[in-house]
Each structure stands twice: as C-alpha cells, then as structure tokens.
Structure 1
Amino acid sequence: MAKRGRPCSFDRDDALRRALDVFWDMGYEGATMTALKDAMGGICAPSVYAAYGSKEALFRSALALYHAQESEALWQGLETSPVRDAMAGLLRTAALRYSTPGKPPGCLVDLSTLNFSPANKAIETTLHDLRVDVARTLEARLCRAREDGELGTLADPVAVAAFYTTVLQGLSIQARDGASRERLLAIVDSAITAWDCLVGN
C-alpha cells in the first residue's frame, strides 16, 4: 500500500498576510487560487480550504486583517477638533498609507474591483457597503460639527461628505496609477483649500 504524503503545514497568520497582498494587488476576481497558494508559500490546496473554507472566506479574513492594519489607523483621528483639521488629517493619512513603500498602492476596498460576475455578488455587496460606510461616517462627523457651530448654517453635510469621499477614492486610484506621494499630498492640499467654500464659512 502506498504511503500517504505528509499533510501540508504553514504559518496561518503569515499566509494570510501574504494572501492580503495578493488580493490588494490583483483584486478579488483577479487573484487566482494558484497566485494565492504561491504567495502563501506554495501550500497545498487542501490546507488552504481546510484553514479558510473557500476563496471567499479567505478574502473576508484578509479584509478583516486589512481593516485592523490599515483602516483603523486611517480613521482614528476623525474626532479631532476642529473638524477641518480632522478632515485634513484623514486625507493626509490616506495619501501616506496609499503610497507606503513595500505595500500595494491604493485602498483594497476601492480597488478590489467594481464589476463582479454574478457568482461573486456577495463580495461585491460587502465592498459596496464598506464604501457607503465611509460616506456615512463622514456625514455623521460633519453633522456633529454643524451642531457644534463649526460649519455654516447652510452647509450640507451629505454633499460635503460626498465630496471628500470622492477625494479619498480618487487618491486610491491615483496611487494605483503611479502618482508619487508628493502628488497625492498636493491633491490633499487642494481639497482642503476648498473647505471654507464647501461648508459656508
């Protein structure tokens, strides 16, 4: 009787970090299982499925890791006052993190792809909801700022949030297209210059 091969073993945390980079660089649908397995140290397919269940489950684990490593740092200063400083800090942090050497440029959530095949509708919905949450988070912060008298009485928090959400997403795309850190920070400076006009101050 032929002997069974030894089961594949691997460092699950390290493998997940490597998988995150593949999804971040190639998008969800662009990241093939072959590319993922190779990046994760050439581990065997049964071990991947035993550890994560499916490509979708692996992506969701990678997305959670991305949130812990990248998103929390991006948003932690949003409650800073005045709100103009909070918004400037958010955009500058995004510009820096989207252009970090040694990491894929841009934002995983924005760049994982906007067009999915019907089979991947659940992932498409998850990423869509995360993008919507960005605008809602900014809206809530701006509404509090208006209540505190930091914005003009005619300021529209929804419109201002939509503007700066668009800037965030644009920074991500610019970073992926090769814009330098200096160029991204210049975009941020221009966006903040528009603040007084947008909020009616």
Structure 2
Amino acid sequence: MSKTIENSKMGRPRGFDTTAALDAAMRVFWEKGYEGATLRNLESAMRINRSSMWTAFGTKEDLFKLAFERYINDYQGYIREALEKPTIREVVESALRGTVDFLSTPGNPKGCLSVHGALAVGDESDSVKQWLIEGRRAGEIRARKRFEDAKKTGDLSKGIDPAAAARYVATIIQGLGVQAASGATKAELTKTVDMALRNLEL
C-alpha cells in the first residue's frame, strides 16, 4: 500500500507517493546498475528532491536495497511458483521458461537486476555487490533443497548431485539475463532453454 511523505517545514502538506517513487528508483537501478545510477537520475525519475529522498529512503544503498526487494516481490514470483511444481523436471522447466518470459516482457529494462545491478563495482560499492552475491547464494540454496527433496522421493536420479544441479540451473538463468541485456530475442532465449532442457538428465 502506498503512503505519502509530508514536508511540514513548508507549513502545508507537500507529499509524494513512496510506492511510485520506489518503483521509479527500481527501474533506474535496473537500467543503469547501482553505480551507474546517479543521484540526479534518481531524483529526476522519482520526481523528488534529494532531501526528501534521504528522509524517506535513507542512503543510496538503502534505497537500492528497498528497490531490489520490490523487484523481487513484483517480478520474481515465477521462481517461487516454479519451486512448488510437483516434479523436479517441471520445477526446472518452469523456472527457465518463466525467466525467458520475464526477460522478454515489453517495457521492462533489459537484463536482470540481480545479475548486473552490482556485478563489477569500485571499493565504495563493494557492500552492495556482496549483498547481491548473498542474495543469489540464498536463492541457490533454496533450489538445492528442492533438488534434495526430489532425490529423497526418487524423483531425481541418484547419480545427480543436488548442489551441482542447482548451480547449473542458476548459471543458465543468470546467463539468460546477460544474453537478454545484450539484445537476445525471446526466440533466441527460448532456443537456449530448449537445448538446456534436452541436456538435463532429469
């Protein structure tokens, strides 16, 4: 639910929609990455001044983390849904095809924020890079547990290492994001997924 921030110093309410502002910030980070997104870019997109930005969202790093959480909640739900599929084959196929659909959605910035948001940064932004690394690692752990459950029930071959399988699928998903950011079409991404699924012994 959106809320309004009021500026009492002006003697009258002068608010803005924090949900809309956060969505705008998310798209700036998505398009430009953490370091590439300047404060001027953010102010312009969010339609607020720097003082209001600091008051409502904290530092640039705080704003990025809030924007990223919005990105995960609003755009990455298909991954959570995929992990709930009844068979591991369906889990993987749903995750990969869902990724292609997401990356090919008209109007969205190219690529994946979780991959290129802070992949290569200077020392001052290393904390953001490490935060995203931990997030990707947590996602991989959830996938590994799903593979482990499949192995326990006999849905996954005994010869497959759940950790390696989870890492492999994560690598494909991240690679799709890089390819999309480089201009790959939905048809091209789909062919990559088709090939990956043929090579998976699930």
Relative distance call for 1:5 and 1:177 in structure 2 (3 A) is farther
Deviation at 1:30, TM superposition (A): 0.5
**Aligned partners of 1:8 and 1:44 also within 8 Å:** no
1:68-104 deviation line (CA, Å, top 9, x unaligned): 1012233212121221011100100011101111111
> Structure 2 stretches of 5 or more lacking a match?
1-9
* CA spacing shift, 1:8–1:32, aligned 2, 3 Å: farther
Letter matched to residue 110 of structure 1: V
1:57 pairs with 2:62: yes
Question: What fraction of aligned residue pairs are identical, expressed as a percent?
Answer: 34
Q: Distance in 1 between matches of 2:194 and 2:156?
A: 19
Q: Does 1:44 align with 2:49?
A: yes
Rounded Cα–Cα distance in structure 1 between residues aligned with 2:180 and 2:70: 21
Q: Secondary structure at the match of 2:34?
A: coil
1:8·1:47 contact (CA, 8 Å) conserved in 2?
no
Deviation at 1:48, TM superposition (A): 0.7
The Cα shift of 1:8 comes to 5.6
For the residue of structure 2 that corresponds to 1:80, the secondary structure is: coil
| Cross-structure match for 1:10 | 16
Q: Which residue of 2 aligns with 1:163?
A: 168
Q: Could you say which residue in structure 2 is the equivalent of 1:68?
A: 73
Instruction: Output aligned runs, 1:83-102, within 5 Å.
Output: 83-102=88-107
Give me the CA root mean square deviation. 1.7
Contact 1:99 1:106 in 2 (8 A): no
Shift of 1:7: 7.8
Q: Give the secondary structure class of the aligned counterpart of 1:29.
A: helix
Instruction: Give the whole-Å Cα distance in 1 for the aligned partners of 2:168 and 2:11.
Output: 57
Asked if 2 retains the 8 angstrom alpha-carbon contact of 1:21 and 1:104, the reply is yes
Contact 2:24 2:46 in 1 (8 A): yes
Q: Aligned partner of 2:57: which letter?
A: Y
